[in-house]
């Protein structure tokens, strides 16, 4: 027998032995499995294996707490909110095509984007939104987000265990904090929530969110407080950050603590576009602290709006470099970058370059602290403001006035436009320079509606209104206030500058 033939025979024998060994091992495993089969396993009549789990002990008993009893009590006070309405894109002079402005203007002229030809009126389009809310008072008062009910012509509220739909009435809203108060007329007293203390929250505390995400109805998610006092861009931001899942439809819903008390109103999520989509939870949600909500709801219930204090300063953070350059011991406070003309701050003597360190007895650690402090101040209250000026502390008394929000001015201006048929704008230094005006007194007419009272009075685009009813006008706000009480059929006298001439015109609303 050759060596090669012997090797082949040996390989075949090894293969045969391996196959035999594998066969024997498999049979042994099957036999052991049958012998070791637990006694509580048996064959059913249908030939399938079943398990009598009642005789088995749990592997581990962790005794984890359940939120089920709390949620069962809380859910009746949480509601689903859906809205309907129509909106029209504003017929604005801004945003037109470049080059449609006044002739012979440089490319960077402010008139490039302001004096545009009027856009054709657009047809109103229907919209709908969905969100959540919670009963704050048994008489039917419900808290939600402003963006849920904003511009809605119909607000419908649904409760978890009630198939009846309730039409809700908007009591008041506050766009700055994105809060709103609505009311339903229910046949009986409603179950309301218990308000907690959001100031006592700490990172790591359990929180529960209940809402109506993606129209799924009452949905419960649980997480922890990730952070408090989060600032995400707004002057009144003081958010609670949580990893409890919040998604579209959760807006306006309550954030409870482990005791079943409302500690926040779910409002927003962080959803980076790098994920390929937006509007979905990635574990970072934000809720408005309930301690802020309490004061706002009180004002909305009593007057339908929120009155905030106004100081009139533009501020920025005090960095370590700024602190060193200004000779400050710590990088704290709010650096005054500018002072608004005719504001309480200017009248009291606060100057650009001052560092505000205390406001009404409270320490200003970060510049973001100051707007919240001022907003919460009672109107016409005189407060002490401590500043650092020229490396020395100085105390200044300031009488706080009411802040007129821009959206209120816009609504007021729109109301006057519909009555009088014209739009006006402040004369900024850039506008004055572009029009070769010697001063910025008055307001400039930016648009005149055809066949309106303004057109019939002879007003033209580009006219400068200096006086209304004998009172000098220096801003669009003053113009709106001066014309808000216009009486139908009664002429109103305007002093208008047109070119080098000054003329009187009378405008009368029919």
Give the phi and the psi of residue 264 in degrees, each rounded to 5. Answer: -170, 165
How far is it, in rounded angstroms, from Cα 426 to Cα 445? Answer: 9
Q: Tokens 């402010």 map to which residue?
A: 110
Taking only the tens place, the pLDDT of each residue in 65-116 is 788 888 999 999 999 999 988 765 543 333 222 222 233 334 333 333 333 3
Sorting pLDDT into bands at 50, 70 and 90, what band is 62? Answer: low
| Per-residue model confidence (pLDDT) at position 18 | 52
Which residues, other chains included, contact 69 with Cβ-Cβ below 8 Å and sequence gap of 6+?
Answer: none
Give the phi and the psi of residue 474 in degrees, each rounded to 5. Answer: -125, -5
The whole-chain average pLDDT of the chain stands at 78
**Catalytic: 218?**
no
pLDDT over 90 percentage in the chain: 37
Q: Which of 192, 245, 251, 423 is catalytic?
A: 251
Q: Tokens 């066949």 map to which residue?
A: 451
Taking only the tens place, the pLDDT of each residue in 323-333 is 888 888 889 99
Residue 121 pLDDT > 50: no
Sorting pLDDT into bands at 50, 70 and 90, what band is 396? Answer: very high
Kindly state the average pLDDT of the residues 347-376. Answer: 93
Residue 354 pLDDT > 60: yes
Taking only the tens place, the pLDDT of each residue in 287-319 is 999 999 999 999 999 999 899 999 999 888 898
Kindly state the average pLDDT of the residues 203-221. Answer: 89
How far is it, in rounded angstroms, from Cα 127 to Cα 138? Answer: 30
Buried b (16+ CB within 10 A) or exposed e, 21-38: eeeeeeeeeeeeeeeeee
**Catalytic: 147?**
yes
Q: Which of 82, 129, 132, 147 is catalytic?
A: 147
Residue 30 pLDDT > 70: no
Residue 120 pLDDT > 90: no
How far is it, in rounded angstroms, from Cα 153 to Cα 94? Answer: 27
How far is it, in rounded angstroms, from Cα 394 to Cα 326? Answer: 15
Residue 425 pLDDT > 70: yes
How far is it, in rounded angstroms, from Cα 419 to Cα 489? Answer: 12
Q: Tokens 């320490």 map to which residue?
A: 363
- CA distances 351 to 223, 235, 319, Å, are 46, 21, 19
Q: How many CB atoms lie within 10 A of CB 235?
A: 14
Q: Tokens 């766009």 map to which residue?
A: 175
Q: What's 442's DSSP letter?
A: S
pTM exceeds cut of 0.85: no
């Amino acid at each position: 027998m050759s060596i090669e033939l012997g090797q082949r025979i040996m390989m075949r024998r090894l293969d045969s032995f391996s196959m035999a060994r594998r066969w024997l091992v498999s049979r042994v495993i099957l036999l052991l499995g049958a012998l070791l089969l637990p006694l509580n396993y048996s064959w059913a009549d249908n030939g399938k294996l079943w398990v009598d789990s009642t005789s088995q002990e749990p592997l581990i008993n962790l005794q984890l707490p359940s939120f089920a009893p709390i949620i069962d009590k809380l859910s009746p006070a949480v509601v689903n909110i859906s809205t309907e309405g129509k909106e029209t894109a504003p017929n604005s002079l801004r945003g037109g095509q470049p080059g449609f402005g006044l002739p012979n203007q440089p490319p960077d002229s402010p008139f490039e984007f302001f004096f545009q030809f009027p856009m054709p009126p657009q047809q109103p389009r229907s919209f709908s939104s969905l969100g959540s809310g919670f009963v704050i008072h048994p008489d039917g008062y419900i808290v939600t987000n402003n963006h849920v009910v904003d511009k809605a012509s119909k607000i419908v509220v649904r409760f978890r265990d009630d198939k009846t739909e309730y039409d809700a009435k908007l009591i008041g809203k506050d766009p700055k904090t994105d809060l709103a108060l609505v009311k339903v007329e229910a046949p009986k007293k409603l179950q309301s929530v218990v308000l907690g203390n959001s100031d006592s929250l700490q990172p790591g505390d359990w929180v529960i969110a209940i809402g109506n995400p993606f129209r799924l109805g009452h949905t419960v998610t649980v997480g922890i407080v990730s952070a408090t006092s989060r600032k995400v861009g707004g002057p009144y931001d003081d958010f609670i950050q949580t990893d409890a899942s919040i998604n579209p439809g959760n807006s306006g819903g309550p954030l409870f603590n482990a005791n079943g008390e409302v500690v926040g109103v779910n409002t927003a999520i962080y959803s980076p576009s790098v994920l390929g989509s937006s509007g979905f939870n990635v574990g970072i949600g934000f809720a408005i602290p309930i301690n802020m909500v309490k004061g706002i709801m009180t004002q909305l219930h009593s007057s339908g709006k929120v009155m905030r204090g106004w100081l009139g300063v533009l501020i920025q953070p005090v960095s370590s470099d700024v602190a060193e350059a200004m000779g400050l011991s710590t990088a704290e406070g709010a650096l005054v970058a500018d002072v608004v003309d005719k504001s309480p701050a200017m009248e009291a003597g606060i100057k650009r370059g001052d560092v505000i360190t205390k406001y009404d007895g409270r320490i200003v650690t970060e510049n973001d602290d100051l707007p919240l402090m001022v907003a919460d101040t009672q109107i016409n209250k005189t407060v002490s403001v401590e500043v650092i000026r020229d490396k020395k502390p100085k105390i200044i008394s300031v009488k706080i006035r009411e802040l007129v929000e821009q959206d209120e001015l816009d609504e007021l201006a729109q109301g006057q436009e519909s009555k009088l048929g014209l739009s006006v704008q402040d004369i900024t230094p850039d506008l004055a320079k572009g029009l070769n005006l010697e001063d910025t007194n008055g307001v400039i007419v930016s648009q005149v509606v055809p066949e309106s009272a303004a057109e019939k009075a002879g007003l033209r685009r580009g006219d400068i209104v200096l006086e209304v009813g004998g009172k000098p006008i220096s801003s669009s706000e003053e113009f709106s206030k001066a014309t808000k009480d216009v009486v139908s059929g009664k002429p109103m006298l305007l002093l208008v500058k047109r070119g080098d001439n000054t003329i009187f015109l009378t405008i009368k609303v029919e």
